[in-house]
Amino acid sequence: MWSRLALSRTLRSLSLFSSPSPSNWSKVVSDAEKIVGYPTSFMSLRCLLSDELSNVAMQVRKLVGTKHPLLNTARGFVYDSKNNLQMRGLVVLLMSKAAGPSSSASESLLPDMVSGIYPSQRSLAEITELIHTAFLVHRGIVNLKEWTNADGPLKDMQFGNKMAVLSGDFLLANACTGLAQLNNTKVVELISSAIGDLVQGIYYESSSTAEDNADFTLASWENQTFLSHGALLAKSCQAAMELAKHDKESQTLAYQYGKHLSLGHKLNSDLQPFVRGSEGELVPFSLDSAPVMFHRHAVGLERWQQQLQQARSMGRQTDYSKLCSTIKKEKGVSQAMDLCGYHGNKALEVIKCFPASEARSALENIACAVAKF
């Protein structure tokens, strides 16, 4: 039981940080960063440099050698922060720039813009990152009763949890005060509701592996994934429009772009283990990932359990390459790829409603990269 849990956790953090087709994606993102001026998230930096989090960083060293997920999450900030951790913030900035100042904006506000982006929109981008990071940390809270001594001393796990609760809360609290400073209660409400969505999505994200999963449908997968992986970006993009006083229509377009991009992005990362085949050894994949879920839905629970059994027959470890080729034989993978392409296209379609600009091209490139393998 535990080893499956540990694996799914490791996988979750892997899939959160791994990027679709690395070389292409990196280039798209780094080109886009140049357009928005300074992409570095100052608010996150301020948080990371605060007494509170430096304290946590010191303490996290105690977790080395344990299996607490906080360790992996913290590692991710240092080693893999380059192109993915701030992807959401970057999209919000590009979206702000692509939409530009609204026609109703007073002339006096224009000089405040840096690289075509209002300071409040920059803060919003940072807040989006803070919230995202806070939940990376809170996702890794461990249920102590499921922990056995073989996984490390219980005391260490309690301590890891304590640090994870506090640092996640600290990031969220900074997001709250940051939101308040935007002086726009509509934006506060929108982003707060995104936090609520995120919580609901995360709460149920691992329960989908539950055996009684008869009511799984494509629509329910999309709803669930939108909550856990899309709502924050969609609502942040919408909020960026609200901050520049753009009308309801632009707000809806921005929301749609954020939504489709996130769904495409999630599908793309879930698909990586199934399309990378040629690059040597297979990375274990999560049984919650989209291709597996679609596969299960297609073949039915009974056959899926047989297949799972077969892949496990050699000892207790799951043979992932065997499972992978079994899955590849059915239509789960192609279904996921089609859906990924659909969301990439939708995002592209929506962003074309904005006037042509450098920022819009960057958003188009990102939408294309998400649907490429």
Q: Which member of 3, 181, 306, 310 binds other proteins (CB under 8 A)?
A: 181
Q: Which member of 10, 158, 208, 220 binds other proteins (CB under 8 A)?
A: 158
Q: Which member of 57, 172, 298, 308 binds other proteins (CB under 8 A)?
A: 172
Task: Note whether 6 binds other proteins by CB under 8 A.
Answer: no
Question: What b-and-e string marks burial along 31-58, b requiring 16 or more CB atoms within 10 Å of the CB?
Answer: ebbebbeebebebbeebeeeeebeebee
Stretch that binds other proteins, among 76-84, 158-166, 214-222, 354-362 (CB under 8 A): 158-166
What lies within 8 Å, CB to CB, of 372 at 6+ separation is 20, 21, 24
Task: Note whether 48 binds other proteins by CB under 8 A.
Answer: no
Task: Note whether 119 binds other proteins by CB under 8 A.
Answer: no
Phi/psi of residue 114, nearest 5 degrees:
-115, 125
Q: How far is the CB of 342 from other proteins (least distance, A)?
A: 25
Between 74 and 336, name the residue whose CB sits nearer to other proteins: 74
Task: Note whether 243 binds other proteins by CB under 8 A.
Answer: no
Count interface residues toward other proteins (CB under 8 A).
Answer: 42
Stretch that binds other proteins, among 35-43, 71-79, 170-178, 263-271 (CB under 8 A): 170-178
Q: Which member of 193, 306, 321, 334 binds other proteins (CB under 8 A)?
A: 193
Between 32 and 182, name the residue whose CB sits nearer to other proteins: 182
Q: How far is the CB of 203 from other proteins (least distance, A)?
A: 5
What residues between 261 and 320 interact with other proteins by CB under 8 A?
Answer: none
Spell out, one character per residue from 51 to 90, where the chain touches other proteins: x when CB under 8 A holds, - when not: xx--x-----------------------------------
What lies within 8 Å, CB to CB, of 96 at 6+ separation is 116, 117, 118, 121, 125, 240, 243, 244
Stretch that binds other proteins, among 96-104, 178-186, 228-236, 323-331 (CB under 8 A): 178-186
Task: Note whether 228 binds other proteins by CB under 8 A.
Answer: no
Q: Which residues are at the interface with other proteins (CB under 8 A)?
A: 51-52, 55, 135, 138, 141-146, 158, 161-162, 165-166, 168-170, 172-174, 176-177, 179-181, 183-186, 188-189, 192-193, 195-196, 199-200, 202-204
